[in-house]
């Protein structure tokens, strides 16, 4: 098995030590950091996402895979910066105003990172104004999570705040969370809806390529 295949496998099985060793090994072999990222980390996280969507993996498996990914990323990041690697895009993610649930939001952030995006994690209880600022700071996508029916309207307020700031056309908006539906996403003028973390990463990838 090649190093990158080994790396992808270690990510899928959540073996952080093996993932770190494979990352270091691939770099020592002279493999460019971008290739280690794409064919090792991203390839592995893609399988994790598919298995999660198909209910073959549950939240704990995704979390340990993401931990392995993050540890490998820590080794790769300085090399990527040195080699002027451009991330696929920048996503500002947050749980909307009034909402403190962050487990799903964190999973979405991990899958997005696993898909090659740079993440600006704005945390929980994020106001529309903070999302507007993130777009001004360079986010090309904003990703909104809500777990409460009472906080879903903050998603609409965020889209409206982007319109009011005159920057709606500079950014794609994706939304999700247990009470959120595709119909709601269409109603408020979002660009995409993800029923789960893996779908959110897929949609973000499609939107950035469009």
Which positions lie near ligand B1M, rule CB under 6 A?
Answer: 59, 98-105, 107-108, 143-145, 147-150, 174-179, 194, 196-197, 200
Q: Which is nearer to ligand B1M, 44 or 194 (CB)?
A: 194
**By the 8 A CB rule, do 95 and 122 touch?**
no
* Shortest Å, Cβ 8 to ligand B1M: 21
Q: How far is the CB of 3 from ligand B1M (least distance, A)?
A: 30
Q: How far is the CB of 4 from ligand B1M (least distance, A)?
A: 27
Min dist CB 66 to ligand B1M, Å, is 12
Q: What DSSP letter does each residue of the chain carry, written as one string? A: --HHHHHHHHHHTT-HHHHHHHHHHHHHTT--HHHHIIIIIIHHHHHHHHHHHTTSS-HHHHHHHHHHHHHHHHHHHHHHHHTTPPPS-EEEEEEETT----HHHHHHHHHHHHTT-EEEEEEEEE-HHHHHHHHHTT-SEEEEE--STTTTHHHHHHHHHHHHTT-GGG-EEEEE-TT--HHHHHHHT-SEEESSHHHHHHHHHHHHH-
Judged by beta carbon, residue 31 or residue 130, the one nearer ligand B1M is 130
- Among residues 135 and 200, whose Cβ is nearest to ligand B1M? 200
User: From CA 49, how far away is CA 30, in angstroms rounded?
Assistant: 29
CB of 104 to ligand B1M, least distance (A): 2
C-beta closer to ligand B1M: residue 99 or 113:
99
Shorter beta-carbon distance to ligand B1M: residue 104 or 114: 104
């Amino acid at each position: 098995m090649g190093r990158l295949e080994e790396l992808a496998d270690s990510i899928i099985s959540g073996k952080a030590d093996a993932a770190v060793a494979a990352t270091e090994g691939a770099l020592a072999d002279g493999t460019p950091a971008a290739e280690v990222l794409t064919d090792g980390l991203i390839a592995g996280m893609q399988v994790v996402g598919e298995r999660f969507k198909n209910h073959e993996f549950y939240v704990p498996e995704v979390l340990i895979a993401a931990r392995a990914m993050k540890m490998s990323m820590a080794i790769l990041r300085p090399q990527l910066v040195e080699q002027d690697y451009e991330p696929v895009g920048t996503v500002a993610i947050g749980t909307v105003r009034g909402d403190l649930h962050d487990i799903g939001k964190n999973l979405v952030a991990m899958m997005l990172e696993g898909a090659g995006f740079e993440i600006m994690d704005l945390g929980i209880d994020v106001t529309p104004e903070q999302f507007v600022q993130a777009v001004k700071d360079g986010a090309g996508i904003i990703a909104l999570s809500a777990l409460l029916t009472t906080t879903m309207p903050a998603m609409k307020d965020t889209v409206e705040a982007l319109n009011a700031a005159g920057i709606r056309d500079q950014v794609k908006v994706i939304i999700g969370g247990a009470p959120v539906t595709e119909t709601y996403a269409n109603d408020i003028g979002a660009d995409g809806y993800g029923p789960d973390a893996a779908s959110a990463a897929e949609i973000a990838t499609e939107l950035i390529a469009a």
